[in-house]
Chains A and B, each alone.
Chain A
């Protein structure tokens, strides 16, 4: 464990050839906006869902009451939605203008399910080989699309709850109690996932403990990258990755052996 720790801590001092830039400045900034607004939303939202708990009432009281808590919640929600659209524009620009097609490796493929199966076989001791991930592991893909799904469900229902009268006029009032139910139930799922799974793999897992700086610096030590995502295109010889960036999709390109 200490070996890993020393590695992750010293990522900044590695020679350029020993580092891989995994996240560009936009991605890092998007993540900062995302998690900071996420924490504020969870901190101001959960006490409203679990209103009967004394701790909830203390939190809301210390924030200046329900109205103040809701104002903070709405501001953070605005930041998160802004971040969502920022990411959408960034994604379109990167794919269409800059042709960074490696990003498409985020799309789930059947191999992900095989990787998942193999990982469980590894956990249970039926194989000694971990699955060899491409640029994004199935958990990272799940993280990414869970956020997207959450943005649509929680963000959409949140807007409905902010403007119930106007929304009722447009699509009928029955949507309001649905939004009320969906908003916080889905939020609990998101918070549970982030705290139980995402933060574990980001910071507590043995190979990154105690703090994985790569989402802030953008840099991952090549050695760890090799270990975690051995099939990532950055690790392949340049010609190979450039030849067919869509090779990871079975029906679009031949799979490189």
Chain B
């Protein structure tokens, strides 16, 4: 009994706190007349009077539950704190609320998400063309809409390294695979600079541009994978681009050559080897054999990985390259000097010949006309 009283007064206090925080922006919105409120208007503070109570929920005709509880403190800290409830929930301007048009959770989410584009026009347009938006337009009710990933009442980041990942709601298997990967492990350990879902699927500057790897221009389309991974691993992208594989990817049939994920895996990517253990050729051979039929340990021994040849790493390659560089410089240098001197000598001979002809004709016709000789030149 006492407990309930304490909880009740606590909720009331929170509601008042929220009212104090929200009063100013709400009034500002109203005086601007941007969203003329219905006659029997209720303010955001009124809403929290009911919806600020934990456990507030309603049941849809489908039997699914909608959690209608808004944490006033979290809402106050959200980016949407300055907005009146009716900005998004225009149909909730009066109490009692009119009955919901939606009969199940998916159609309810679709309906509430349709209002976001009023402010987030660009994002909504990008979404409409991404894998979720296209699936939604194609009639797939399961396709993610705004509120599946974004919590409008808290506006916390969708994907935060080491935090909960919205994607898991639908993409359970791959997220679990990710959590076991080197990326996921580091994220769980508190690193904030490791790849999360969006690092690859919606890289910086391409928010909402989620596409499948089969969609043209996708950051995970096969020939774009190297540059996507290269955002964090530029040295490896650089060495890859110089290998047979990288060149074939650039010049060959699109998607025919292997990219990063063909050898390293994607969601469950693990380091090629532990820092202190050398590369295991038998293990590499299994990867090679995915494309190179019959590849064995001996074949794998020729794989330089992402290292440049050096006197200690594949010295034969290193010294072959050095030798041929100096051989080419020496041979071509010699040849060019030879040709240049040949040409030079020819011109000098020509000049000397002309000069002797001129002096010969000049001496033979010493009393003649030197003008004619000049003209002859």
Whether chains A and B associate is: yes
A binding-site residues for B, Cβ under 8 Å:
47-48, 51-52, 56-57, 60, 65-67, 69, 119-120, 122-125, 139, 146, 164-166, 168-169, 172-178, 180-182, 185-186, 188-189, 192-193, 196-197, 200-201, 205-206
Do B335 and A193 touch (CB < 8 A)?
Answer: yes
Do A168 and B252 touch (CB < 8 A)?
Answer: no
Q: Name the 10 nearest CB pairs between A and B, nearest first.
A: A173-B302, A66-B252, A197-B335, A123-B341, A176-B302, A173-B301, A185-B324, A168-B299, A66-B251, A189-B328
0/1 interface trace, chain B 331-351, chain A, CB 8 Å (1 if under): 110011011011011101000
A sample of 15 cross-chain residue pairs with beta-carbon separation below 8 angstroms, ordered by A number, consists of A66-B252, A69-B251, A165-B294, A168-B295, A168-B298, A168-B299, A168-B301, A169-B299, A172-B298, A173-B301, A178-B316, A182-B324, A185-B328, A196-B336, A197-B339
Interface size of B by CB at 8 A reads 42
In the complex, which residues 307-334 of chain B have their Cβ closer than 8 Å to any Cβ of chain A?
309, 314, 316-317, 320-321, 324-325, 327-328, 331-332
Residues on A with beta carbons closer than 8 Å to the beta carbon of B298: 168-169, 172-173
User: SS class of chain B's interface: helix, strand, loop or mixed?
Assistant: helix
Task: With CB as the reference atom, state the residue of chain B lying closest to A49.
Answer: B247
User: SS class of chain A's interface: helix, strand, loop or mixed?
Assistant: helix
B253 at the interface (CB under 8 A from A): yes
In the complex, which residues 336-369 of chain B have their Cβ closer than 8 Å to any Cβ of chain A?
336, 338-339, 341-342, 344-346, 348
Task: With CB as the reference atom, state the residue of chain B lying closest to A60.
Answer: B251
A78 to B294, CA, bound (A): 25
Do A165 and B345 touch (CB < 8 A)?
Answer: no
Partner of B296 from the list A125, A168, A200, A205 (CB cut-off 8 Å) is A168
B binding-site residues for A, Cβ under 8 Å:
244, 247-248, 250-253, 256, 292-296, 298-304, 309, 314, 316-317, 320-321, 324-325, 327-328, 331-332, 335-336, 338-339, 341-342, 344-346, 348
Do A169 and B244 touch (CB < 8 A)?
Answer: no
B321 to chain A, nearest CB (A): 5
Task: With CB as the reference atom, state the residue of chain A lying closest to B327.
Answer: A189
Residues on B with beta carbons closer than 8 Å to the beta carbon of A66: 247-248, 251-253
Task: With CB as the reference atom, state the residue of chain B lying closest to A180.
Answer: B244
**A56, A57, A177 — most chain B CB neighbours (10 Å):** A177
A69 to B250, CA, bound (A): 14
Do B314 and A122 touch (CB < 8 A)?
Answer: no
A36 to B293, CA, bound (A): 34
A16 to chain B, nearest CB (A): 31
Residues on A with beta carbons closer than 8 Å to the beta carbon of B317: 177-178, 180-181
Residues on A with beta carbons closer than 8 Å to the beta carbon of B338: 119, 139, 197
- Given A164-B292, A164-B299, A67-B346 contact (CB < 8 Å): no
A47 to chain B, nearest CB (A): 8
- Given A65-B251, A66-B252, A175-B320 contact (CB < 8 Å): no
